[in-house]
């Protein structure tokens, strides 16, 4: 299937600079000189990988044995014989985890934890012995036993799932026919914290230490719990030396199992980011209530770097970050948040400071040693003869090799079919600007490109059925950061902007000054009902389902029987009535309970359809549950 029809989004001159407008308009004058270097100085871009089929993350094995890896300082583990119906292995480097394994006629024996006692994980089948798990799933944890890290992964006739513990938390699982699950999947495919399709798991999510489940094809969804520890969230693969083994990892070991939520410095501050600013933003993320509703990443964009030392190590700008990045990461982690950085696959970043080309391993090691949890990786100033897929893969592998789970955000300004197996999210178009509908950088253009297709919207880059098929736990289409609160649009338009990002299961990365938000901006960014749509563990990206392209109905399947999110979206310049029918959602129920997610009002049972007056450029957003 052809992934796009017609034009490719226009690159900057020479294929290099991503944001000449935003650099000139937003970067403080002190940074203009270095920013100018980014304009038109790329030596070329790769056009490989523009077409292809559906991507899978995690994969599945069929009727194969599952063999554990080793936890740091531990020994090789085995979990419980063969997997029935398929198994996947997932987890972060250095903390190998096994999920979706069924034990038959026996029990699985874990390894030993350094300084602790041997653990046993896995359940029993009929005739076997069941034991509760230790600190790791199929492995030990360096540093000894984890207090309170009990695994529940009960047994069932026909097989059981492997258990695993978490730091100061109890891991619980979802339930499938054929067995019970803790952080994995059972025969017939129910995943706890993951997406199961015939028994394979790609993972779930933990938001702020809480648990949300994953997406099960043909089964139910279970939850995976993970307690929050300084620096991140625990995973069932165990801990190393008492610190968390995760940055957005769940019990099944996947990164970014729901769309990442956080803040990025570029839209508001350009190259003017400093240590003081970042600490203030971290404080505000907690005090504003943003952390409580799921925001966790504090991401520093371009121009934090200054040079490389004699050994080739990347050096932060000492005037902006006088305490270094490790101290800053420690501060962010002390708030229960996570730190992200930015680099580029080229020799220089888009603003002209050192990129990572040829230094991927050194840079990844630096990031890990500082405690970085997220990397945005741009596409400017590429080296002559370089290959895009190779460059991004090199950094992805370098990050994995550090042993620290670091979310990898690919910023190649386009979707390629290798991206879902390389990063956790990828940009699907050009840089956003704080405008409604003026050009290809506006909110409307990015909605059309990320959520629609060329046969539906003029200017959309991808052919039918669009990119929604590639979204799911651990891999997300990214239409770019949010502009909510930056002043270029109305509050009604910002509400629509946020609602469409949520129904598209897009990353929610705020780009405003959250230290001084208006009440309206705060209410938009912290609407827990809307955020729950974005973070729904099924991980399905919503799509437009109406024939009309101006008075639209968008729909997204949510967890739960006959449960949907709906956006009634008015693109026109006057208020209008928009109707959604239950049949158009694919519901078999003729009556449904409706909740308005912006007024936070339960509207009660409604027969066959619902109609609402929607303001110009506005939305009405609903949760619909069939009765």
- Give the whole-number percent of the chain exceeding pLDDT 70: 60
Q: What is the pLDDT of residue 249?
A: 56
Domains of the chain: 13-54+263-534 (3.20.20.70), 67-253 (no CATH), 543-626 (2.60.40.1180)
Q: What CA dihedral angle connects 291, 293, 294 and 297, to 10 degrees?
A: -30
Give the integer Cα–Cα distance in Å for 466 and 452: 6
Q: Is the pLDDT of residue 300 over 70?
A: yes
Output the average pLDDT for the chain: 72
Res. 359: pLDDT tops 90:
yes
Evaluate if residue 588 carries a pLDDT over 90: yes
Higher pLDDT, 357 or 42: 357
The label of the residue with tokens 């090789």 reads 76
pLDDT at 129 over 90: no
Distance in angstroms (rounded) separating the CA atoms of residues 175 and 189: 10
DSSP designation for 353: S
499-527 pLDDT, tens digit per residue, is 999 999 999 999 999 999 999 999 999 99
Q: Specify the pLDDT at position 253.
A: 79
Say whether 243 sits in a helix, a strand or coil: strand
- Residue 600 predicted with pLDDT over 50: yes
Backbone angles phi, psi at 520, to 5 degrees: -65, -45
Token pair 């949520």 is at which residue? Answer: 502
Minimum mean pLDDT range among 81-90, 375-384, 615-624: 81-90
Residue whose token pair is 């899978």: 56
The predicted pLDDT at position 186 comes to: 31
Segment 232-261 mean pLDDT: 54
Helices 360-370 and 388-401, packing angle to 10 deg: 40
Closest CA to 153 of 234, 136, 140: 136
Name the more confident of 136 and 501. 501
How far apart, in Å, are the Cα atoms of 11 and each of 62, 431, 439?
43, 11, 14
- Residue scoring higher pLDDT (450 or 67): 450
* Burial annotation 520-544 (CB, 10 A radius, 16+ → b, else e): ebbebbbbebbbbbbbbbbbbbbbb
In tens, the pLDDT along 213-244 reads 333 333 333 333 333 322 333 333 322 323 33
Residue 403 has pLDDT above 80, yes or no: yes
Indicate the range of 251-255, 303-307, 440-444, 480-484 predicted with least confidence: 251-255
3-state secondary structure 79-131: EEEECCCCCEEECCCCCCEEECCCCCCCCCCCCECCCCCECCCCCCCCCCCCC
177 vs 347 pLDDT, higher one: 347
Residue 604 — pLDDT band, cuts 50, 70, 90?
A: confident
The set of catalytic residues is: 378, 431
Distance CA 482, CA 504 (A): 13
- Furthest-apart CA pair in the chain: how many Å? 74
pLDDT computed for residue 514 by the predictor: 98
């Amino acid at each position: 299937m052809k992934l796009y029809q017609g034009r490719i989004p226009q690159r900057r001159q020479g294929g290099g600079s991503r944001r000449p407008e935003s650099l000139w308009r937003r970067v403080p004058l002190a940074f203009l000189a270095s920013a100018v270097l980014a304009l038109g100085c790329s030596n070329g871009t790769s056009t490989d990988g523009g077409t292809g089929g559906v991507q899978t993350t995690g994969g599945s094995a069929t009727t194969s044995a599952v063999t554990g890896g080793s936890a740091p300082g531990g020994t090789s583990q085995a979990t419980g014989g063969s997997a029935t119906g398929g198994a996947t292995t997932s987890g972060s480097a250095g903390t190998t985890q096994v999920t979706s394994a069924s034990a038959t006629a026996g029990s699985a024996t874990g390894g030993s934890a350094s300084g602790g006692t041997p653990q046993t994980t896995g359940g029993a089948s009929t005739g076997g012995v069941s034991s509760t798990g230790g600190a790791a799933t199929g492995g030990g944890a360096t540093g000894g036993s984890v207090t309170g890290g009990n695994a529940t992964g009960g047994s069932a006739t026909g097989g059981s799932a492997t258990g695993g513990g978490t730091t100061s938390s109890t891991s619980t699982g979802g339930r499938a026919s054929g067995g019970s699950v803790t952080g994995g999947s059972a025969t017939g495919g129910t995943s706890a914290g993951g997406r199961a399709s015939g028994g394979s798991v790609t993972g779930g999510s933990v938001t702020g230490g809480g648990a949300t489940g994953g997406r099960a094809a043909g089964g139910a969804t279970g939850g995976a719990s993970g307690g929050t520890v300084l620096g991140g969230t625990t995973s069932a693969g165990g801990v190393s030396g008492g610190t968390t083994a995760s940055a957005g990892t769940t019990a099944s070991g996947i990164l970014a199992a729901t769309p990442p939520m956080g803040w990025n410095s570029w839209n508001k501050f350009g190259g003017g980011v400093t240590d003081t600013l970042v600490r203030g933003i971290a404080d505000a993320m907690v005090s504003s209530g943003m952390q409580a509703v799921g925001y966790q990443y504090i991401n520093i964009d371009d121009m934090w770097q200054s040079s490389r030392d004699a050994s080739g190590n990347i050096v932060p700008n000492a005037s902006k970050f006088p305490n270094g990045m490790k101290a800053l990461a420690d501060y962010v982690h002390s708030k229960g948040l996570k730190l992200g950085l930015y680099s580029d696959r080229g020799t220089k970043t888009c603003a002209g400071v050192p990129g990572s080309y040829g230094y991927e391993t050194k840079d990844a090691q630096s990031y890990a040693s500082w405690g970085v949890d997220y990397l945005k990786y741009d596409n400017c100033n590429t080296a002559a003869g370089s290959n895009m897929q190779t460059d991004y893969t090199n950094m992805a592998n370098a990050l994995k090799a550090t042993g620290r789970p670091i979310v990898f955000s690919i910023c190649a300004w386009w979707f390629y079919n290798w991206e879902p197996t390389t990063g956790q999210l990828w940009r699907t178009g050009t840089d956003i600007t704080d405008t409604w509908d003026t050009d290809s950088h506006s909110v409307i253009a990015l909605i059309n490109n990320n959520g629609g297709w060329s046969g539906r919207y003029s200017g959309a880059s991808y052919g039918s059925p669009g990119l929604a098929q590639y979204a799911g736990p651990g891999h997300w289409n990214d239409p770019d950061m949010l502009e909510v609160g930056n002043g270029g649009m109305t509050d009604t338009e910002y509400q629509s902007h946020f609602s469409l990002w949520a129904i598209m299961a897009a990353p929610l990365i705020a780009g405003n000054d959250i230290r001084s938000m208006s009440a309206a901006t705060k209410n938009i960014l912290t609407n827990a009902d809307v955020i729950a749509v974005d973070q729904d563990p099924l991980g399905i990206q919503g799509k437009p389902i109406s024939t009309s392209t101006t008075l639209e109905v968008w729909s997204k399947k949510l967890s739960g029987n006959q449960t949907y999110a709906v956006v009634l979206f008015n693109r026109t310049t006057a208020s209008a009535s928009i109707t959604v029918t239950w049949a158009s959602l694919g519901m078999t129920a003729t009556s449904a309970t409706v909740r308005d997610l912006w007024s936070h009002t339960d509207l009660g049972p409604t027969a066959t359809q619902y109609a609402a007056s929607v303001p110009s450029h506005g939305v009405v957003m609903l949760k619909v549950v069939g009765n």
